């Protein structure tokens, strides 16, 4: 070590995204009591304060100490777009030319924030725009939590107001279970009553089906689970969602039921993108009904959202309704997801962000080599 190195300032800790236990040990290292961590969480998440100097009930010397050792660092907003239906999309900078997207979907009885977990995605689902741009990196916990923090600010939420964001869905860019180590602490902060304090049924993680990570998830947090099924049999699913070549439908469903057992959950939501002439025929609906009959499952039919360069087309509204009816008639609860924010490319599967310096470009037939670090 050189003299210059030993004099280098210690890197500041980003307080945003530190779960309670980590925040407690951080303030402990500074010689403070654990209740300081609760106070900090209160300022960060309950009051939406990012300026340490303004956290007025913290002792002055503690604030001074924090000013040198800690910071509250948020992703920078590159662009904001508002759709004709009120859906909002933010493009956030991940540094080094990378960017990722967050979408707010207002509805009469709730406000849903759709957040990203990675810059790009490695899974290469054939109908997804994010897949086209390859994968660059995992988002940090601070960047995941920061999306909720920023959206609250941007939406004008203030202390004492009713919630504007009532639901959080990890359905933006990326595969959340492929970024397990950063996503789990973020979910803890969403659920924690000292954090955003959102109920476990209103935080939904959507996965393409990383089976081992579903088992791990069951041990770690209790949130709602959505699974991208998209096909009623392995041959078709392997074509649309290549991870199926590694973990097939039977394995995936077993993991889902295990998750519900462990978490005392009511049902898993299965997402099913409606692709014209590909997976939308009555026989597909009947096969799907056989697969999920008497199971704690709900189907969410998503009209395909096109993006430049795709060969897929959206199923017609009549086809989608018929598909839903085929399922309902067989006792399967199925709903059609309303398409939102289409005019600003904010709908499911249209999030693109910006990925330069791709470390892994496309997964495609290389699925068997997929390494997912946990």
Tell me if 41 sits within 8 A of 23, measured CB to CB. yes
Written as six digits, the tokens of 30 are 């500074």
Phi-psi region of 214 (alpha: psi -120 to 50; beta: other; left: phi over 0): alpha
CA distances from 224 to 16, 264, 364 (A): 24, 11, 28
Tell me, residue by residue from 98 to 137, as one string, x for binding to ligand SAH by CB under 6 A and - for no binding: ---------------------------x-xxx--------
Q: Which of 115, 273, 299, 334: binder of ligand SAH (CB under 6 A)? A: 273
Find tokens 């995605």 and name the residue: 121
Q: Give the nearer residue to ligand SAH in terms of CB position, either 103 or 165.
A: 103
| Strand positions, DSSP E, 297-342 | 297-303, 333-336
Are the CB atoms for 334 and 298 separated by under 8 Å?
yes
| Cα separation, 178 vs 155, whole angstroms | 30
**If we measure between CA atoms, which residue out of 28, 41, 33 comes closest to residue 59?**
33
Q: How many residues bind ligand SAH (CB under 6 A)?
A: 17
CB closest to ligand SAH, residue no = 349
- Contact between 83 and 346 under an 8 Å Cβ cutoff? The reply is yes
* Least Cβ distance, residue 136 to ligand SAH (angstroms): 15
Q: Is 344 in the site for ligand SAH (CB under 6 A)?
A: no
- Please state the closest distance from residue 171 (CB atom) to ligand SAH, in A: 4
Q: Does 45 bind ligand SAH (CB under 6 A)?
A: no
Based on the shown chain and the rule CB under 6 A, indicate whether residue 207 belongs to the binding site for ligand SAH.
Answer: yes
Q: Cβ(135)–Cβ(357) under 8 Å? A: no
Among 32, 206, 244, 367, which residue sits at the site for ligand SAH (rule: CB under 6 A)?
A: 206
> Which residue do the tokens 């500041």 mark?
12
Minimum distance from residue 58 beta carbon to ligand SAH (Å): 38
How far does CA 112 lie from the centroid of its chain? 12
Active site residue: 101, 175, 271, 326, which one?
A: 101
Nearest-angstrom CA–CA distance, 166 and 147: 14
Rounded to an integer, what distance in angstroms lies between the CA atom of residue 243 and that of residue 205?
17
Of the candidate residues 194, 302, 344, 352, the single one contacting ligand SAH (CB under 6 A): 302
- The burial class, CB within 10 Å (0-12 / 13-18 / 19+), for 309 is exposed
Q: How far is the CB of 364 from ligand SAH (least distance, A)?
A: 16
* Tokens coding 34: 């654990």
Whether the Cβ atoms of residue 301 and residue 320 lie closer than 8 Å to each other: yes
Instruction: Give the nearer residue to ligand SAH in terms of CB position, either 122 or 151.
Output: 122
**What torsion, rounded to 10 degrees, do the Cα atoms 145, 135, 340, 201 define?**
-40
Near ligand SAH by CB under 6 A, which window of 12-20, 280-288, 298-306, 322-330? 298-306
| Shortest reach from residue 254's CB to ligand SAH, in Å | 18
* Interface map 155-184 toward ligand SAH (x if CB under 6 A): ----------------x---x---------
Asked if 355 touches ligand SAH (CB under 6 A), the answer is no
Q: Would you say 18 or 203 has its CB closer to ligand SAH?
A: 203
Asked if residue 348 binds ligand SAH (CB under 6 A), the reply is: yes
| Spatial contact of 269 and 204, defined as CB atoms under 8 Å apart | yes
Binding mask 220-259 for ligand SAH (x = CB under 6 A): --------x-------------------------------
Establish whether 348 is a catalytic residue: yes
Choose which of 208, 269, 279, 315 interacts with ligand SAH (CB under 6 A): 208
Identity of the residue, 140 or 300, whose beta carbon is nearer to ligand SAH in the bound complex: 300
- The token pair that represents 360 in the structure block: 């892994």
Instruction: Please tell me which residue in 114, 121, 223, 348 is annotated as part of the active site.
Output: 348
The verdict on whether 71 is a catalytic residue reads no
- Nearest-angstrom CA–CA distance, 349 and 365: 20
Q: Using CB under 6 A as the criterion, which residues of the chain lie in contact with ligand SAH when the complex forms?
A: 125, 127-129, 171, 175, 206-208, 228, 271, 273, 302, 304-305, 348-349
Could you list the active site residues? 101, 348
């Amino acid at each position: 070590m050189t003299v210059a190195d030993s004099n280098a300032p210690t890197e500041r800790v980003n307080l945003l995204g530190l779960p309670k236990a980590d925040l407690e040990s951080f303030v402990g290292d500074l010689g403070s009591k654990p209740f300081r961590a609760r106070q900090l969480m209160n300022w960060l998440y309950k009051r939406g304060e990012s300026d340490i100097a303004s956290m007025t009930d913290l002792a002055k010397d503690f604030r001074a100490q924090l000013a040198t050792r800690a910071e509250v660092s948020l992703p920078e907003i590159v662009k904001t777009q508002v759709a004709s239906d009120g859906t909002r999309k933010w493009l956030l900078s991940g540094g080094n030319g990378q960017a990722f997207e967050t979408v707010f979907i207002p509805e009469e009885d709730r406000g849903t924030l759709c957040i990203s977990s990675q810059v790009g995605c490695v899974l290469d689902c054939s109908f997804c725009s994010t897949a086209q741009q390859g994968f660059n990196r995992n988002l940090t916990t601070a960047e995941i939590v920061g999306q909720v923090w920023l959206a609250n600010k941007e939406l004008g939420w203030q202390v004492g107001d009713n919630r504007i964001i009532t639901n959080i869905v990890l359905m933006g860019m990326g595969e959340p279970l492929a970024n397990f180590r950063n996503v789990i602490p973020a979910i803890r902060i969403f659920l924690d009553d000292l954090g955003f304090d959102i109920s476990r049924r209103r935080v939904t993680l959507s996965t393409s089906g990383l089976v081992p990570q579903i088992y791990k998830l069951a041990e770690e947090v209790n949130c709602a689970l959505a699974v991208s099924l998209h096909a009623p049999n392995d041959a078709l699913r392997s074509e649309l969602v290549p991870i199926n070549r590694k973990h097939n439908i039977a394995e995936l469903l077993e993991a889902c039921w295990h998750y519900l057992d462990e978490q005392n959950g009511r049902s898993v939501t299965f997402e099913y993108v409606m692709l014209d002439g590909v997976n939308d025929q009555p026989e597909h609906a009947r096969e799907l009904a056989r697969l999920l009959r008497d199971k704690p499952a709900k189907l969410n039919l998503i009209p395909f959202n096109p993006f430049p360069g795709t060969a897929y087309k959206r199923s017609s509204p009549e086809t989608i309704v018929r598909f839903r009816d085929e399922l309902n008639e067989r006792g399967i609860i199925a709903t059609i997801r309303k398409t939102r924010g289409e005019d600003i490319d904010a709908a499911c599967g249209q999030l693109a962000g910006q990925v330069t310096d791709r470390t892994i470009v496309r997964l495609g037939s290389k699925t068997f080599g997929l390494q997912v670090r946990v």
